[in-house]
Amino acid sequence: MSGRVEHLAEGVTLHLGDCREILPTLGKVDAMVTDPPYGMRFRSNSRLIRHEAIANDSTTDALLWACNIPVKHSKYIFCRWDNLAEVPKPRSVVNWIKNNWSMGDLEHEHARQTEIALFYPGENHHFPCGRPTDVVEVRRTGNDHHPSEKPVDLMWAVVRWTDGLVVDPFMGSGTTGVACAKLGRKFIGIEIETKYFEIACRRISEALKQPDMFVAAPPPAKQQALAL
């Protein structure tokens, strides 16, 4: 089912559907923090669980689409180092250092312990918390909610580099939204798979009840006018 919209709090809205149809209806957004499918045909063998393939992961179309969306403040887009040849040149590449490393070619490839996020500033860009380095060191998650789940602490660090409303058009299990809820930031998330949309609704609703210390929880969503 698509076309479902959940208003979880004032300024926190989740859409079930295709971001390529929904995002253009939202106007130019302040910030985008996202982890799109980037052509891995992702299937995880971790803990002997074989996950379903991620939607639209057989090409880099989703990644390139995200790279070309204009924003007012900034865009952070996760991908792999070997996508760099295909994407528009970013202003910075942020390195996420994990506590594990990839297998790959054991003889002729370095054990990769990093993933990257592309940074593209918009016309209103400034660093809200001073100039950050291009390194974030955060432990990976156990992928309990999504086969390519990002840690909340990683998205929390990245969201703090942005200003205004944050959009994640490839929301998955809602990790960016959880980080925004903890930081008291406005958020719009879009996810095409009902299963992950439901998980995102639950995780973000829970996070809204427990914002970080000194962050005021957003007021509950206003009742939407009924079209009679």
Ligand X SMILES: C[S@@+](CC[C@H](N)C(=O)[O-])C[C@H]1O[C@@H](n2cnc3c(N)ncnc32)[C@H](O)[C@@H]1O
Chain positions contacting ligand X, by CB under 6 A: 18-20, 35-37, 54-56, 62, 145-146, 148-150, 169-170, 172-173, 175, 190-193, 196
Q: How far is the CB of 37 from ligand X (least distance, A)?
A: 5
For ligand X, give the closer residue by CB, 122 or 151: 151
Q: How far is the CB of 77 from ligand X (least distance, A)?
A: 11
Q: How far is the CB of 92 from ligand X (least distance, A)?
A: 20
Distance CA 197, CA 27 (A): 22
Q: From its phi and psi, is residue 47 left (phi > 0), alpha (psi between -120 and 50) or beta?
A: left
Q: How far is the CB of 184 from ligand X (least distance, A)?
A: 20
Amino acid at 176: T
For ligand X, give the closer residue by CB, 82 or 107: 82
Asked if residue 63 lies in contact with residue 84, where contact means CB atoms within 8 angstroms, the answer is no
Q: How far is the CB of 50 from ligand X (least distance, A)?
A: 16
Asked if residue 135 lies in contact with residue 95, where contact means CB atoms within 8 angstroms, the answer is yes
What's 180-214 look like in SS3? HHHHCCCEEEEECCHHHHHHHHHHHHHHHCCCCCC
State the virtual CA torsion across 107, 58, 32, 17 in degrees, nearest 10. -150
For ligand X, give the closer residue by CB, 62 or 204: 62
For ligand X, give the closer residue by CB, 110 or 195: 195
Cα 102 to chain centroid distance, Å, stands at 21
For ligand X, give the closer residue by CB, 87 or 227: 87
For ligand X, give the closer residue by CB, 77 or 165: 77
DSSP H helix total and E strand total for the chain: 5, 9
Q: How far is the CB of 24 from ligand X (least distance, A)?
A: 12
Amino acid at 86: E
